Amino acid sequence: MTVSTTTESQLRRTRGIIGVLPYLLDIVVPLVSYYVLTSVGLSPFWSLLTGGALTTVVSIVNTIRRGKIDNLGILVIVEIALGLVLDLAVRDPRLTLARGSLFIALAGVWILVNTFTGRPITVDATKPFAAKKGGTDGIVAFEWLARNSPRFLRIHRSLSTVWSVMFLAYAAVRVVVIYRVTISEAVWLTEVPGVIAIAVCLIASARAGKQLEALVTDRMEHLPDESA
């Protein structure tokens, strides 16, 4: 029993690290690329654009890794396309840095709007965890809850609200920072509120995840009874 509990704890920590990794890459890749490229003489605009392109590759890989283009995947693709067009059209390093706030805000609005639908965006985002936890039965239980459980939807709507509010707040603070300090300072200062926002979202997700896992586990226990 102790071995099983320890193994489960280790798996949780591993999943947590894997879940956080994309967010860390989104922060580290643009920072490192900007300072490295500007140090060798590249202009701030092209340094920012290159960092954004590298981050885009990470985003595309994560979208493909989810196995299908859901609402979240569509949002990422639209943001990437609009971002590249805007960057190349304007070629202003400060605006290039600030345009990230526009898309962060759009993501926040998208999440908020979906919160009040029958399937909040966090439902598709958390579905892979049900598959890892319970395989086919986990997915069946998860989908049943998504269609029939008011508590399941309440948890997701609360989580979606937290994510949307954090995205909108982060977007607003980024703009203030970008136009108050130099570009070189803004590149790293804009990430500070982002780290805070992500931390809040991850804490909220962890708390919601425990409740959702309990619901899925309980539902899985009733699946054999229904098939009997």
- The pair phi, psi for residue 116, each rounded to 5°, is -100, 15
> Pseudo-torsion of CA 46, 98, 75, 56, nearest 10°?
20
Residue 85: band (very low, low, confident or very high) from pLDDT cuts 50, 70, 90: confident
- 93 touches 30 (CB < 8 A): no
Residue 18: band (very low, low, confident or very high) from pLDDT cuts 50, 70, 90: low
Per-residue pLDDT, averaged over 127-154, amounts to 86
Q: Given the structure tokens 């009874």, which residue do they identify?
A: 225
Dig out the tokens for 70 from the structure.
């859901």
Confidence check: pLDDT of 157 > 70: yes
Residue 20: band (very low, low, confident or very high) from pLDDT cuts 50, 70, 90: low
Task: Find, among 24, 98, 84, 23, the residue nearest to 52 by Cα.
Answer: 84
Confidence check: pLDDT of 78 > 90: no
Give per-residue burial for 137-172: e unless 16+ CB within 10 Å, then b: bbbbbbebbbeebeebbebbbbbbbbbbbbbbbbbe
Whether this model's pTM surpasses 0.75: no
